[in-house]
Amino acid sequence: MSWLLFAVGLAALALGVNVLFPSRSLLGLGISFFAEWLVAELAHWTILVLGGGVVVLVALGGLDQWPGWVGLVAAAIGAVLMVTEMVLASRSGPAVARALADAGLDPPVPDRGRWRRLLFPFWLHDRRVERIKNLRYADGAGRRHLGDVYRPRGGMAAGAPVLLQIHGGGWLIGNKQQQGRPLMNRMAAHGWVCVAINYRLAPKAKMPAQIVDVKLALAWIRAHIVEYGGDPGLVVVTGGSAGGHLAAMAALTMNDPQYQPGFEAADTSVLASVPLYPPTDLMPLFTFRGKRANRVADRTAALVFGASISSDPDRYREWSPITLVTPGAVPFLVIQGSADNLVPVAQTRAFVDVLRAIPGQHVVYLELPGAPHAFEVFHSVRAEAAIGAVQQFCESVIAGLPVADADSRPGVAAAPGGADAAISPSPTDGTTATAEPG
Protein backbone atom coordinates (compact mmCIF):
# COMPACT_ATOMS: atom_id res chain seq x y z
CA MET A 1 0.00 0.00 0.00
CA SER A 2 2.89 2.35 0.67
CA TRP A 3 4.07 2.20 -2.92
CA LEU A 4 0.54 2.63 -4.21
CA LEU A 5 0.12 5.69 -2.01
CA PHE A 6 3.46 6.92 -3.35
CA ALA A 7 2.18 6.59 -6.94
CA VAL A 8 -1.14 8.30 -6.16
CA GLY A 9 0.67 11.14 -4.41
CA LEU A 10 3.04 11.72 -7.32
CA ALA A 11 0.09 11.68 -9.74
CA ALA A 12 -1.71 14.29 -7.63
CA LEU A 13 1.42 16.45 -7.52
CA ALA A 14 1.93 16.17 -11.29
CA LEU A 15 -1.69 17.15 -11.94
CA GLY A 16 -1.40 20.09 -9.58
CA VAL A 17 1.77 21.39 -11.21
CA ASN A 18 0.37 20.92 -14.71
CA VAL A 19 -2.85 22.76 -13.95
CA LEU A 20 -0.90 25.89 -13.04
CA PHE A 21 2.04 25.44 -15.42
CA PRO A 22 0.86 23.51 -18.51
CA SER A 23 3.40 22.44 -21.11
CA ARG A 24 3.80 24.32 -24.38
CA SER A 25 6.27 21.84 -25.89
CA LEU A 26 5.06 20.01 -29.00
CA LEU A 27 5.64 16.60 -27.40
CA GLY A 28 3.67 17.34 -24.25
CA LEU A 29 1.09 19.69 -25.71
CA GLY A 30 -1.87 17.32 -26.07
CA ILE A 31 -1.41 15.37 -22.84
CA SER A 32 -0.82 18.54 -20.87
CA PHE A 33 -3.94 20.15 -22.33
CA PHE A 34 -6.29 17.27 -21.49
CA ALA A 35 -4.93 16.97 -17.95
CA GLU A 36 -5.11 20.72 -17.37
CA TRP A 37 -8.57 21.04 -18.91
CA LEU A 38 -10.22 18.36 -16.81
CA VAL A 39 -8.46 19.14 -13.54
CA ALA A 40 -8.82 22.91 -13.83
CA GLU A 41 -12.56 22.85 -14.50
CA LEU A 42 -13.22 19.89 -12.18
CA ALA A 43 -10.74 20.74 -9.43
CA HIS A 44 -13.27 20.14 -6.64
CA TRP A 45 -14.09 16.68 -7.98
CA THR A 46 -10.41 15.87 -8.53
CA ILE A 47 -9.56 16.79 -4.93
CA LEU A 48 -12.50 14.74 -3.66
CA VAL A 49 -11.59 11.63 -5.65
CA LEU A 50 -7.84 11.73 -5.01
CA GLY A 51 -8.36 12.73 -1.38
CA GLY A 52 -10.71 9.81 -0.86
CA GLY A 53 -8.17 7.46 -2.40
CA VAL A 54 -5.42 8.77 -0.13
CA VAL A 55 -7.61 8.33 2.96
CA VAL A 56 -8.40 4.73 2.01
CA LEU A 57 -4.75 3.90 1.34
CA VAL A 58 -3.67 5.44 4.64
CA ALA A 59 -6.32 3.39 6.44
CA LEU A 60 -5.01 0.23 4.78
CA GLY A 61 -1.47 0.79 5.99
CA GLY A 62 -0.09 3.10 3.37
CA LEU A 63 2.09 4.89 5.92
CA ASP A 64 3.83 1.74 7.15
CA GLN A 65 6.84 2.48 4.93
CA TRP A 66 8.64 5.63 3.87
CA PRO A 67 7.27 5.72 0.26
CA GLY A 68 3.81 6.19 1.74
CA TRP A 69 4.90 9.29 3.64
CA VAL A 70 6.47 10.73 0.51
CA GLY A 71 3.26 10.06 -1.37
CA LEU A 72 1.17 11.70 1.35
CA VAL A 73 3.29 14.87 1.25
CA ALA A 74 3.16 14.93 -2.56
CA ALA A 75 -0.62 14.50 -2.50
CA ALA A 76 -0.95 17.35 0.00
CA ILE A 77 1.13 19.69 -2.19
CA GLY A 78 -0.91 18.67 -5.23
CA ALA A 79 -4.12 19.43 -3.33
CA VAL A 80 -2.82 22.88 -2.40
CA LEU A 81 -2.06 23.60 -6.07
CA MET A 82 -5.56 22.48 -7.08
CA VAL A 83 -7.10 24.67 -4.40
CA THR A 84 -5.09 27.53 -5.86
CA GLU A 85 -6.71 26.73 -9.21
CA MET A 86 -10.13 26.84 -7.56
CA VAL A 87 -9.31 30.28 -6.18
CA LEU A 88 -8.36 31.45 -9.68
CA ALA A 89 -11.64 30.08 -11.03
CA SER A 90 -13.58 31.97 -8.35
CA ARG A 91 -12.16 35.20 -9.79
CA SER A 92 -13.98 34.62 -13.09
CA GLY A 93 -17.09 36.44 -11.95
CA PRO A 94 -15.23 39.63 -10.97
CA ALA A 95 -13.21 39.42 -14.22
CA VAL A 96 -16.47 39.32 -16.21
CA ALA A 97 -17.90 42.24 -14.27
CA ARG A 98 -14.77 44.34 -14.91
CA ALA A 99 -14.63 43.52 -18.62
CA LEU A 100 -18.29 44.39 -19.12
CA ALA A 101 -18.05 47.52 -16.97
CA ASP A 102 -15.11 48.75 -19.07
CA ALA A 103 -17.44 48.45 -22.07
CA GLY A 104 -20.25 50.27 -20.29
CA LEU A 105 -22.32 47.11 -19.75
CA ASP A 106 -24.00 45.80 -16.62
CA PRO A 107 -22.82 42.53 -15.06
CA PRO A 108 -24.74 39.43 -16.17
CA VAL A 109 -27.71 38.16 -14.22
CA PRO A 110 -27.07 34.62 -12.84
CA ASP A 111 -29.19 31.96 -14.52
CA ARG A 112 -31.31 29.67 -12.35
CA GLY A 113 -30.04 26.15 -11.70
CA ARG A 114 -26.37 27.14 -11.35
CA TRP A 115 -25.56 24.83 -8.46
CA ARG A 116 -27.29 21.90 -10.14
CA ARG A 117 -25.17 22.43 -13.24
CA LEU A 118 -21.98 22.61 -11.19
CA LEU A 119 -22.95 19.43 -9.36
CA PHE A 120 -23.59 17.59 -12.65
CA PRO A 121 -21.14 19.25 -15.06
CA PHE A 122 -21.70 16.82 -17.93
CA TRP A 123 -25.49 16.99 -17.90
CA LEU A 124 -25.97 19.12 -21.00
CA HIS A 125 -29.74 18.91 -21.47
CA ASP A 126 -32.07 21.74 -20.54
CA ARG A 127 -35.82 21.23 -20.16
CA ARG A 128 -36.43 24.81 -21.27
CA VAL A 129 -34.91 24.12 -24.69
CA GLU A 130 -35.74 21.89 -27.64
CA ARG A 131 -33.31 20.78 -30.30
CA ILE A 132 -34.22 20.11 -33.93
CA LYS A 133 -31.48 17.85 -35.24
CA ASN A 134 -29.85 17.23 -38.59
CA LEU A 135 -31.13 20.01 -40.81
CA ARG A 136 -29.25 20.21 -44.10
CA TYR A 137 -27.82 23.65 -44.76
CA ALA A 138 -25.93 22.79 -47.96
CA ASP A 139 -25.87 20.00 -50.52
CA GLY A 140 -23.16 17.35 -50.45
CA ALA A 141 -20.55 16.45 -47.80
CA GLY A 142 -22.89 14.01 -46.02
CA ARG A 143 -23.22 14.74 -42.29
CA ARG A 144 -20.66 17.53 -42.46
CA HIS A 145 -23.32 19.83 -43.94
CA LEU A 146 -25.90 19.27 -41.22
CA GLY A 147 -26.91 21.61 -38.42
CA ASP A 148 -28.99 21.53 -35.24
CA VAL A 149 -31.40 24.27 -34.17
CA TYR A 150 -31.89 25.05 -30.48
CA ARG A 151 -34.89 27.17 -29.52
CA PRO A 152 -37.22 27.77 -26.57
CA ARG A 153 -39.17 24.62 -25.86
CA GLY A 154 -42.50 24.41 -27.61
CA GLY A 155 -41.33 26.43 -30.60
CA MET A 156 -42.42 29.67 -28.95
CA ALA A 157 -39.73 31.78 -30.64
CA ALA A 158 -40.79 34.34 -33.25
CA GLY A 159 -38.49 37.01 -34.63
CA ALA A 160 -35.79 35.88 -32.19
CA PRO A 161 -32.12 36.82 -32.54
CA VAL A 162 -29.92 34.03 -33.84
CA LEU A 163 -26.59 32.65 -32.58
CA LEU A 164 -24.48 30.58 -34.98
CA GLN A 165 -22.20 28.20 -33.05
CA ILE A 166 -19.08 26.75 -34.74
CA HIS A 167 -17.30 23.85 -33.06
CA GLY A 168 -13.54 23.59 -32.64
CA GLY A 169 -11.14 20.69 -33.01
CA GLY A 170 -8.11 22.03 -34.83
CA TRP A 171 -10.04 22.03 -38.15
CA LEU A 172 -9.46 18.25 -38.08
CA ILE A 173 -12.01 16.76 -35.65
CA GLY A 174 -15.22 17.62 -33.80
CA ASN A 175 -18.93 17.86 -34.43
CA LYS A 176 -21.91 20.05 -33.66
CA GLN A 177 -22.95 18.17 -30.52
CA GLN A 178 -19.64 18.35 -28.66
CA GLN A 179 -19.20 22.04 -27.95
CA GLY A 180 -21.23 25.12 -27.14
CA ARG A 181 -24.06 23.19 -25.48
CA PRO A 182 -24.11 25.12 -22.18
CA LEU A 183 -24.01 28.41 -24.08
CA MET A 184 -26.74 27.47 -26.55
CA ASN A 185 -28.99 26.14 -23.79
CA ARG A 186 -28.62 29.41 -21.91
CA MET A 187 -29.27 31.55 -24.97
CA ALA A 188 -32.22 29.48 -26.21
CA ALA A 189 -33.78 29.45 -22.74
CA HIS A 190 -33.68 33.25 -22.87
CA GLY A 191 -35.40 33.57 -26.22
CA TRP A 192 -32.64 33.11 -28.80
CA VAL A 193 -32.56 30.62 -31.66
CA CYS A 194 -29.19 28.89 -31.91
CA VAL A 195 -27.75 26.98 -34.86
CA ALA A 196 -24.85 24.55 -34.35
CA ILE A 197 -23.20 23.25 -37.51
CA ASN A 198 -20.87 20.57 -38.70
CA TYR A 199 -18.44 21.59 -41.43
CA ARG A 200 -15.96 19.81 -43.67
CA LEU A 201 -12.77 18.77 -41.92
CA ALA A 202 -9.12 18.47 -42.90
CA PRO A 203 -7.17 16.68 -44.21
CA LYS A 204 -9.93 15.59 -46.60
CA ALA A 205 -11.13 19.17 -47.02
CA LYS A 206 -8.46 21.82 -46.55
CA MET A 207 -8.91 25.51 -45.91
CA PRO A 208 -10.75 27.53 -47.09
CA ALA A 209 -13.44 24.80 -47.20
CA GLN A 210 -14.20 25.36 -43.52
CA ILE A 211 -14.94 29.08 -43.83
CA VAL A 212 -16.91 28.44 -47.03
CA ASP A 213 -19.14 26.09 -45.03
CA VAL A 214 -19.66 28.76 -42.37
CA LYS A 215 -20.75 31.13 -45.15
CA LEU A 216 -23.10 28.45 -46.51
CA ALA A 217 -24.64 28.13 -43.06
CA LEU A 218 -25.12 31.89 -42.86
CA ALA A 219 -26.80 31.86 -46.27
CA TRP A 220 -29.12 29.08 -45.06
CA ILE A 221 -29.95 31.10 -41.94
CA ARG A 222 -30.86 34.09 -44.09
CA ALA A 223 -33.19 31.97 -46.21
CA HIS A 224 -34.74 29.62 -43.67
CA ILE A 225 -34.27 30.55 -40.01
CA VAL A 226 -37.63 32.34 -39.94
CA GLU A 227 -39.20 28.86 -40.23
CA TYR A 228 -37.73 28.08 -36.80
CA GLY A 229 -38.63 31.36 -35.12
CA GLY A 230 -35.44 33.29 -35.84
CA ASP A 231 -34.90 36.73 -37.36
CA PRO A 232 -32.47 36.40 -40.32
CA GLY A 233 -31.37 39.99 -39.82
CA LEU A 234 -30.19 39.45 -36.24
CA VAL A 235 -27.30 36.99 -36.43
CA VAL A 236 -24.28 36.75 -34.12
CA VAL A 237 -21.52 34.20 -34.76
CA THR A 238 -19.50 32.39 -32.09
CA GLY A 239 -17.19 29.42 -31.68
CA GLY A 240 -14.29 28.08 -29.68
CA SER A 241 -10.71 27.33 -30.74
CA ALA A 242 -10.77 26.54 -34.49
CA GLY A 243 -14.45 27.53 -34.34
CA GLY A 244 -13.37 30.83 -32.81
CA HIS A 245 -10.95 31.32 -35.68
CA LEU A 246 -13.80 30.73 -38.14
CA ALA A 247 -16.16 32.99 -36.17
CA ALA A 248 -13.61 35.81 -36.36
CA MET A 249 -12.98 35.16 -40.05
CA ALA A 250 -16.71 35.15 -40.80
CA ALA A 251 -17.08 38.59 -39.21
CA LEU A 252 -13.99 40.00 -40.93
CA THR A 253 -14.78 38.67 -44.43
CA MET A 254 -18.52 39.36 -44.62
CA ASN A 255 -19.89 38.95 -48.17
CA ASP A 256 -16.39 38.34 -49.54
CA PRO A 257 -17.01 36.51 -52.85
CA GLN A 258 -13.76 34.52 -52.69
CA TYR A 259 -15.25 32.56 -49.75
CA GLN A 260 -18.69 32.21 -51.36
CA PRO A 261 -18.10 30.21 -54.56
CA GLY A 262 -21.39 29.67 -56.34
CA PHE A 263 -23.36 31.82 -53.91
CA GLU A 264 -21.50 35.09 -54.22
CA ALA A 265 -24.65 37.21 -53.96
CA ALA A 266 -25.83 35.67 -50.69
CA ASP A 267 -25.82 37.94 -47.64
CA THR A 268 -23.38 36.45 -45.11
CA SER A 269 -23.11 39.47 -42.83
CA VAL A 270 -23.38 39.22 -39.04
CA LEU A 271 -24.05 41.74 -36.32
CA ALA A 272 -21.22 40.69 -34.00
CA SER A 273 -18.61 38.01 -33.36
CA VAL A 274 -17.80 36.16 -30.13
CA PRO A 275 -14.63 34.08 -30.64
CA LEU A 276 -13.50 32.05 -27.63
CA TYR A 277 -9.77 31.23 -27.29
CA PRO A 278 -9.36 31.73 -31.06
CA PRO A 279 -6.18 31.18 -33.06
CA THR A 280 -5.80 34.62 -34.62
CA ASP A 281 -2.21 34.49 -35.90
CA LEU A 282 -1.54 31.15 -37.55
CA MET A 283 2.20 31.33 -38.13
CA PRO A 284 3.31 31.58 -34.48
CA LEU A 285 0.60 29.07 -33.55
CA PHE A 286 2.64 26.38 -35.31
CA THR A 287 6.04 27.57 -34.05
CA PHE A 288 7.81 25.64 -31.29
CA ARG A 289 11.25 25.35 -29.78
CA GLY A 290 13.63 23.15 -31.72
CA LYS A 291 14.07 22.38 -35.40
CA ARG A 292 12.58 18.88 -35.14
CA ALA A 293 9.45 20.15 -33.40
CA ASN A 294 8.99 22.84 -36.04
CA ARG A 295 9.35 20.32 -38.86
CA VAL A 296 6.61 18.17 -37.31
CA ALA A 297 4.39 21.23 -36.76
CA ASP A 298 5.03 22.33 -40.36
CA ARG A 299 3.82 18.98 -41.71
CA THR A 300 0.80 19.01 -39.41
CA ALA A 301 -0.17 22.52 -40.52
CA ALA A 302 0.04 21.43 -44.15
CA LEU A 303 -2.66 18.81 -43.50
CA VAL A 304 -5.08 21.62 -42.66
CA PHE A 305 -3.96 24.49 -44.87
CA GLY A 306 -2.72 22.66 -47.95
CA ALA A 307 0.93 23.77 -47.74
CA SER A 308 3.53 24.14 -45.02
CA ILE A 309 4.36 27.48 -43.45
CA SER A 310 7.88 27.33 -44.84
CA SER A 311 6.68 26.78 -48.42
CA ASP A 312 3.72 29.20 -48.49
CA PRO A 313 3.62 31.64 -45.56
CA ASP A 314 1.29 34.01 -47.40
CA ARG A 315 -1.72 31.72 -47.04
CA TYR A 316 -1.22 31.62 -43.26
CA ARG A 317 -1.24 35.40 -43.18
CA GLU A 318 -4.28 35.55 -45.46
CA TRP A 319 -6.27 33.26 -43.16
CA SER A 320 -5.14 34.89 -39.89
CA PRO A 321 -7.85 37.11 -38.38
CA ILE A 322 -5.22 39.52 -37.05
CA THR A 323 -4.31 40.47 -40.64
CA LEU A 324 -7.94 40.81 -41.73
CA VAL A 325 -8.93 43.62 -39.35
CA THR A 326 -10.10 46.71 -41.21
CA PRO A 327 -12.15 49.76 -40.25
CA GLY A 328 -15.87 49.09 -39.99
CA ALA A 329 -15.61 45.68 -38.32
CA VAL A 330 -18.63 44.53 -36.32
CA PRO A 331 -18.47 44.45 -32.49
CA PHE A 332 -16.32 41.72 -30.94
CA LEU A 333 -16.35 39.95 -27.59
CA VAL A 334 -13.08 38.00 -27.35
CA ILE A 335 -12.68 35.50 -24.51
CA GLN A 336 -9.38 33.86 -23.57
CA GLY A 337 -7.94 31.89 -20.67
CA SER A 338 -4.68 33.10 -19.19
CA ALA A 339 -3.36 29.51 -18.83
CA ASP A 340 -4.26 28.29 -22.33
CA ASN A 341 -1.37 26.19 -23.63
CA LEU A 342 -2.85 25.56 -27.11
CA VAL A 343 -3.56 29.18 -28.07
CA PRO A 344 -1.07 31.46 -26.31
CA VAL A 345 -2.73 34.35 -24.55
CA ALA A 346 -0.19 36.74 -26.07
CA GLN A 347 -1.60 36.35 -29.58
CA THR A 348 -5.17 36.91 -28.39
CA ARG A 349 -4.09 40.10 -26.63
CA ALA A 350 -2.33 41.20 -29.81
CA PHE A 351 -5.50 40.59 -31.84
CA VAL A 352 -7.54 42.64 -29.38
CA ASP A 353 -4.96 45.43 -29.55
CA VAL A 354 -5.26 45.53 -33.35
CA LEU A 355 -9.05 45.70 -33.08
CA ARG A 356 -8.88 48.47 -30.47
CA ALA A 357 -6.51 50.48 -32.65
CA ILE A 358 -9.36 51.01 -35.13
CA PRO A 359 -11.18 54.24 -34.27
CA GLY A 360 -14.74 53.58 -33.16
CA GLN A 361 -14.30 49.80 -33.05
CA HIS A 362 -16.37 48.18 -30.29
CA VAL A 363 -14.46 45.33 -28.65
CA VAL A 364 -14.80 43.68 -25.25
CA TYR A 365 -11.92 41.52 -24.03
CA LEU A 366 -12.44 39.00 -21.26
CA GLU A 367 -9.38 37.18 -19.94
CA LEU A 368 -10.22 34.54 -17.34
CA PRO A 369 -7.54 33.94 -14.67
CA GLY A 370 -6.03 30.47 -14.84
CA ALA A 371 -8.48 29.24 -17.48
CA PRO A 372 -7.35 26.49 -19.86
CA HIS A 373 -8.38 25.90 -23.43
CA ALA A 374 -12.01 24.74 -23.94
CA PHE A 375 -13.02 25.75 -20.40
CA GLU A 376 -16.72 26.16 -21.30
CA VAL A 377 -17.38 22.82 -23.04
CA PHE A 378 -19.12 21.51 -19.92
CA HIS A 379 -20.52 23.26 -16.86
CA SER A 380 -17.98 24.85 -14.53
CA VAL A 381 -17.48 28.02 -12.53
CA ARG A 382 -15.64 29.62 -15.44
CA ALA A 383 -18.19 28.40 -17.97
CA GLU A 384 -21.02 29.96 -15.97
CA ALA A 385 -19.20 33.30 -15.81
CA ALA A 386 -18.18 33.36 -19.48
CA ILE A 387 -21.62 32.30 -20.75
CA GLY A 388 -23.20 35.09 -18.71
CA ALA A 389 -20.82 37.54 -20.37
CA VAL A 390 -21.69 36.24 -23.84
CA GLN A 391 -25.41 36.60 -23.16
CA GLN A 392 -25.01 40.12 -21.82
CA PHE A 393 -22.84 41.19 -24.75
CA CYS A 394 -25.10 39.66 -27.40
CA GLU A 395 -28.24 41.17 -25.93
CA SER A 396 -26.53 44.56 -25.71
CA VAL A 397 -25.69 44.33 -29.41
CA ILE A 398 -29.31 43.57 -30.27
CA ALA A 399 -30.60 46.26 -27.90
CA GLY A 400 -28.26 48.82 -29.43
CA LEU A 401 -29.70 48.44 -32.93
CA PRO A 402 -31.84 51.29 -34.21
CA VAL A 403 -35.53 50.51 -34.30
CA ALA A 404 -36.47 49.56 -37.86
CA ASP A 405 -39.07 47.67 -39.81
CA ALA A 406 -38.22 44.02 -40.36
CA ASP A 407 -37.98 44.56 -44.12
CA SER A 408 -35.22 47.13 -43.65
CA ARG A 409 -32.95 44.83 -41.67
CA PRO A 410 -30.03 43.33 -43.56
CA GLY A 411 -30.58 39.77 -44.69
CA VAL A 412 -34.31 39.51 -44.00
CA ALA A 413 -35.09 38.85 -47.61
CA ALA A 414 -34.40 35.36 -48.94
CA ALA A 415 -30.80 34.87 -50.00
CA PRO A 416 -30.53 36.30 -53.51
CA GLY A 417 -29.17 34.94 -56.78
CA GLY A 418 -27.36 31.64 -56.52
CA ALA A 419 -27.89 31.04 -52.80
CA ASP A 420 -30.87 28.74 -53.14
CA ALA A 421 -28.86 26.42 -55.36
CA ALA A 422 -26.27 26.02 -52.63
CA ILE A 423 -28.58 25.40 -49.71
CA SER A 424 -31.51 23.16 -48.89
CA PRO A 425 -33.90 23.33 -45.95
CA SER A 426 -34.55 19.61 -45.82
CA PRO A 427 -32.32 16.78 -44.57
CA THR A 428 -31.15 14.29 -47.15
CA ASP A 429 -28.65 11.43 -47.42
CA GLY A 430 -30.69 9.29 -45.03
CA THR A 431 -30.68 11.79 -42.16
CA THR A 432 -33.84 12.80 -40.35
CA ALA A 433 -34.73 16.10 -38.74
CA THR A 434 -36.04 15.43 -35.24
CA ALA A 435 -36.95 17.58 -32.26
CA GLU A 436 -36.00 16.64 -28.72
CA PRO A 437 -35.37 18.40 -25.39
CA GLY A 438 -32.18 20.46 -25.42
Lowest-confidence pick of 120-134, 250-264, 281-295: 281-295
Catalytic residues: 241, 340, 373
The answer, yes or no, to whether residue 411 has pLDDT greater than 50, is: no
**Is the omega angle on the peptide bond into residue 203 within 30 degrees of 0, that is, cis?**
yes
Q: Where are the beta strands (DSSP E) in 183-277?
A: 193-197, 230-240, 272-276
The answer, yes or no, to whether residue 264 has pLDDT greater than 60, is: yes
Q: In the prediction, which pLDDT does 433 show?
A: 52
Are 188 and 124 in contact, with CB atoms under 8 Å apart?
no
Query: What is the average pLDDT score of the chain?
Result: 91
Segment 7-14 shows an average pLDDT of: 96
Q: In the prediction, which pLDDT does 434 show?
A: 55
Task: Return d(Cα 214, Cα 347) in angstroms, integer.
Answer: 23
**What contacts 291, CB < 8 A, 6 or more positions away?**
none
Q: How large is the greatest C-alpha to C-alpha distance in the chain, in angstroms?
A: 79
Task: Return d(Cα 76, Cα 54) in angstroms, integer.
Answer: 10
CA separation, residue 219 to residues 99, 115, 318 (Å) = 32, 38, 23
Residue ranges per structural domain of the chain: 2-90, 94-281+320-437
The residues facing 240 across adjacent strands are: 276
pLDDT tens, position by position, 292-310: 888 888 899 999 999 999 8
Candidates 277, 269, 217, 213; CA nearest to 242 is 277
Q: Does domain 94-281+320-437 have CATH number 3.10.450.50?
A: no
Lowest-confidence pick of 29-33, 83-87, 205-209, 402-406: 402-406
pLDDT tens, position by position, 17-26: 999 999 988 8
Could you tell me the pTM of the whole model?
A: 0.91
